[in-house]
Amino acid sequence: MNRKFVFLALVFISTVLFLSPLLYSVENRKSEVLVITVNGAINPVVSEYIGKSIKKASEMNAEALIIELDTPGGLDTSMRSIAKDIIGSSVPVVVYVSPSGARAASAGVFITMAAHVAAMSPGTNIGAAHPVALGEKMDKAVAEKAVNDAAAYIKSIAETRGRNVKWAEDAVRKSVSATETEALKSNIIDLIAKDISALLSEIDGKKITTAYGDKTLKTAGAKIIRHEMGLRHKILNLISDPNVAYILLMLGFYGLFFELTNPGAIFPGVIGGICLVLAFYSFQTLPVNYAGLLLIIIGLILFILEVKVASYGMLTIGGIVSMVLGSLMLFESPLPFLKLSLSVIIPAVIVTALFFVLTFRLAYKAYKRKPVTGAEGLIGLEGIAKTDITPGGGMVVVHGEFWSAYSDNVIQKEERVVVEDVKGLRVKVRPKKIMNSLQKVQHIP
């Protein structure tokens, strides 16, 4: 009995000693907070990035997901997708307008309003969420519908989060804005924090209601894990910039031109094709005006025609004007971040004009140049008759080679001749003195 008691005691003590470190580590394990940065326009790439980050935060059982936001606005569809992901998240989402000097404008207002916790850094602002048309002008009725729809959507979000509904509606209808201090006083945001550490301390113990129930945040001293954009997202986000999309379009045209003028080169065609595909992918996220794209193509055609048509530079001027106008019209938007920069347009037009005019001129001259090899290269060369030459035939030496020859005139042996035509392995010749006589007649004033 005593042995059994001793054995059980030893087992109990061993179990306690084994499990104590594990229980201690679980009890004292620091909570984790996932932090991502969104800096730029709201587009499908950013929407996918935020959606995947919310999923990652849920999988790692993070205390919260913090979105450091600095945006001038973006696409309505992408904004709504982000708002839906935030509202349906099981992990509390904190939108932190940061750093100092950042803004949450247009689509950024909706995203901030949708957050479980909205915070701003000192020296930031929020507002100006009036919807604008991208790529086409809206008539009065359509514009009014768009404004009413956006106003109803942001009011619904503000009511859900218990924030200032009146200000939210005015941000859409009247494009009002607020500084971080004004936003806090007006119940637009929950707090002001100077940095991430201060933010984590401020929201510690805050009770949050998510789509999956209530949760009390434990963020004081939490471990910060940053989740950067992957290479794929970075590349797609980069090419969504209108200036990059425009450069890709030009490179695509150059690559295809090289491939068409040098069949079999392969590399220029492959690069050109890839650039065009990437450019048209970008056009899906940008307000493209296809009249502008057509003007750019017309400009390229005019540059090509300049080589073959004696327009004394008029076609080149027309091509430059067409390309400049097309480039300015290519992306129609009142938002500056969705417009092409003149510092990109002007060099691109100049380089394109020089590229096509010089390249095509050289190619055309090479095409017109007299052949120096083969049968065609014999025409116009001088030779010596090695036998008498009649319409029936004879022999000549041309370019160091013996050729069977014939002529419409009788040519004496050792007389100099000029090749007029080549038919198979026979050349048609004419006496050089006749050629000289013809040239003199042609030059008589």
Task: Note the pLDDT tens digit of each residue in 238-262.
Answer: 888 888 888 998 888 888 877 776 7
Q: Which of 47, 106, 322, 327 is catalytic?
A: 106
Cβ burial of 66 (10 Å; 0-12, 13-18, 19+) is: buried
At residue 387, what are phi and psi to the nearest 5 degrees? -140, 170
Find, among 191, 205, 114, the residue nearest to 155 by Cα.
Answer: 114
pLDDT at 10 over 90: no
pLDDT tens string 414-436: 888 888 888 877 888 888 875 55
Could you confirm whether 175 is annotated as catalytic?
Answer: no
The Cα 69–Cα 199 span in angstroms is 14
Q: What is the layout of strands, in order, in the sheet containing 177-179?
A: 103-105, 125-127, 177-179
pLDDT of 398: 85
pLDDT at 24 over 60: no
**Beta-carbon count within 10 A of 5 CB:** 9
Q: Are 154 and 109 in contact (CB under 8 A)?
A: yes
- The radius of gyration of the chain's CA atoms, rounded to the nearest angstrom, is 38
Find, among 97, 44, 100, the residue nearest to 71 by Cα.
Answer: 97
Q: Which of 145, 223, 308, 413 is catalytic?
A: 145
Q: Are 292 and 136 in contact (CB under 8 A)?
A: no
Structural domains in the chain, CATH included, are 25-230 (3.90.226.10), 241-368 (no CATH), 376-442 (2.40.50.140)
Could you confirm whether 145 is annotated as catalytic?
Answer: yes
pTM, entire model: 0.69
Q: To the nearest 10°, report the CA torsion of 226, 232, 235, 241.
A: -80
pLDDT tens string 103-118: 999 999 999 999 999 9
Residue 52: C-alpha distances to residues 79, 219, 238, 367, 443 (Å): 15, 22, 19, 57, 82
Q: Are 171 and 129 in contact (CB under 8 A)?
A: yes
> What amino acid is encoded at 235 in this protein?
I
Q: Which residue has the higher pLDDT, 286 or 324?
A: 324
Place of tokens 């899906």: 284
Q: What is the sign of the dihedral through the CA atoms of 431, 436, 437 and 438?
A: positive
Strand partners, 331: 288
Find, among 72, 66, 136, 60, the residue nearest to 104 by Cα.
Answer: 72
Q: Identify the band that residue 2 occupies on the pLDDT scale cut at 50, 70 and 90.
A: low
Place of tokens 């120096």: 372
State the chain's mean pLDDT as an integer. 83
Which segments within 255-412 are labelled E, that is strand? 382-385, 394-398, 401-406
pLDDT > 70 fraction of the chain, expressed in percent and rounded: 82
The Cα 145–Cα 325 span in angstroms is 32
Q: Does residue 99 have a cis peptide bond before it, meaning omega lies within 30 degrees of 0?
A: yes
